Each structure stands twice: as structure tokens, then as C-alpha cells.
Amino acid sequence: MQRYDHRTALVIVDLQNDFADPAGGLAVHGGANLVPIINAEITMARSAEATVVFTQDWHPPTTPHFQKDGGLWPVHCVADTWGAELHPDVDDEAAAHAPRVRKGASGEDGYSGFTMRDPTTGETTPTELEGLLRDSAIERVIVCGLATDYCVKATALDAARLGFETAVLLDAIRPVELAAGDEQRAIDEMSAAGVHSWSTRMR
Ligand code: VGL
Ligand code: ZN
């Protein structure tokens, strides 16, 4: 099986310092270990002329997403700070040229790379991700990155809902796991929605 082709997109979710670096504001256990695994996927994707896209969590300094402002999370991925940058070991070529879809800039608190949710009205608005994939005639979406139980899950569920054949790379994602079992529940939820569970060791 060839994982990538020109109708396939590798969507790399929130591989940013605040999640991937142990010193990050919302460090995900083992997050940094994903970087070389995902770089290998980027190389494979690029050589098959697949599309590579990054999403970035991209928050204002004050947002109901953050604990200090009434939300759930420690401060992380504030726009234009170190924590919001892609991990420095991400493939240089991809970091320089692959499109980046930034979500949350106006204080939206959705988790998906495809949609943002207004924290007061609950209204959702699309990001540019779907249009970007449609413009490249993408049919299949492969999701990896951080974190399994939030942005990876939400992005994969939206991709499937939008009609893309969707897979998640189980050894290229890691959970926040606020509550024990969140990782498995997220994987089950994705499976129930028709998202394939693949391994990067599968060729
Ligand atoms: C995420 C929690 C808060 C994620 C983003 O990228 O999964 N998790 N913001
Ligand atoms: Zn966030």
C-alpha cells in the first residue's frame, strides 16, 4: 500500500513548541518524540506529490480558552510567541513552504483545523483548510500531531464529516489525557466516525 499520492493530504496538527517541547505551556508527554516520525511522513508525502499542511493553535493573550480567563487551559500558543512556533526540528523545507492554517486568532475556542467556534455564541465558522484541500482536489486526509484527544480528534472527525477518506497515524499522535481514558475514548470516537487507524510502520 502506498500511503500518499497527489490526491492525499498530510495534515500535521499543532506541532508547536507549547505542545511539543517539554518546557511548553501545555506540554504533551512524548510530544517531541513525534517530530522525527512526522518528518519521515513529510518526506514520504512530498516524494509522492501529496499535499502537506500544518495547523497552528493561535490564541490572543486573553481568551475564554485560558484558565486565567475562565476557561480550561493554561496559557499556550499565544500568536507570534515562541510557544506558537512550529517545533524547530520540523523539516525545514516543509516549515518554509507548506501552508499553515491558524485557528483561534479572534479568541475562538474550537479544536478543529477545519472550524472555529465562537466561545460566547457557539457559532462555528470554517477556517481556510477545507478550501485549501478542495483547491488541490484532495480526496484523502491523513492526520497526525497533537493532541489526540482535542485537536487531532476534532480535525479528523471534521475531515470525515466533510467527506474525505480519513486516517489517523496512531504512533504519530499523543494525548493530553486530562482524565484517564481520554486517549482511548478519542480513538474509539474517531473509529466510530469511520476514521481509519494506521501506523507509520505500515507501508
Ligand atoms: C489543543 C488544548 C487546547 C490541541 C489546543 O491542540 O489539541 N488542546 N488547545
Ligand atoms: Zn488552544
Mean pLDDT confidence for 116-143:
93
Domain assignment of residue 182, yes or no: yes
Domain assignment of residue 45, yes or no: yes
**CB contact at 8 A, 53 and 98:** yes
- How confident is the model at residue 40, as a pLDDT? 98
Strands (E), 153-193: 165-174
pLDDT reading at 119 higher than 80:
no
27 lines ligand 1 (CB under 6 A): no
- How confident is the model at residue 106, as a pLDDT? 80
pLDDT in tens, 9-60: 999 999 999 999 999 999 999 999 999 999 999 999 999 999 999 999 999 9
- How confident is the model at residue 120, as a pLDDT? 78
Q: Which three cell numbers stand for residue 107?
A: 479568541
Domain extent at residue 80: 8-198
- How confident is the model at residue 19, as a pLDDT? 98
pLDDT in tens, 163-200: 999 999 999 999 999 999 999 999 999 999 999 999 99
- Percent of the chain whose predicted confidence (pLDDT) is above 70: 99
Q: Which of 75, 76, 157 to mutate to test the pocket of ligand 1 (most atoms within 8 A of CB)?
A: 76
Domain assignment of residue 61, yes or no: yes
77 is catalytic: no
- How confident is the model at residue 1, as a pLDDT? 55
- How confident is the model at residue 63, as a pLDDT? 92
Domain assignment of residue 165, yes or no: yes
pTM (2 decimals)? 0.97
CATH number at residue 146: 3.40.50.850
pLDDT reading at 160 higher than 90:
yes
14 is catalytic: yes
**CB contact at 8 A, 15 and 8:** no
Kindly list the distances between the CA atom of residue 52 and the CA atoms of 7, 87, 173, in Å, as whole numbers in the listed order. 11, 16, 16
Domain assignment of residue 203, yes or no: no
153 is catalytic: no
Tell me the Cα Rg of the chain.
Answer: 16
Domain assignment of residue 147, yes or no: yes
From the CA of 104, the nearest ligand is: 2
Query: Of the candidates 122, 119, 144, which has an alpha carbon nearest to the alpha carbon of residue 53?
Result: 144
Domain assignment of residue 1, yes or no: no
Q: What is the mean pLDDT of the chain?
A: 95
57 lines ligand 1 (CB under 6 A): yes
Domain assignment of residue 2, yes or no: no
Q: Specify the number of domains making up the chain.
A: 1
Strands (E), the chain: 8-13, 51-57, 100-103, 115-117, 124-126, 140-146, 165-174, 196-198
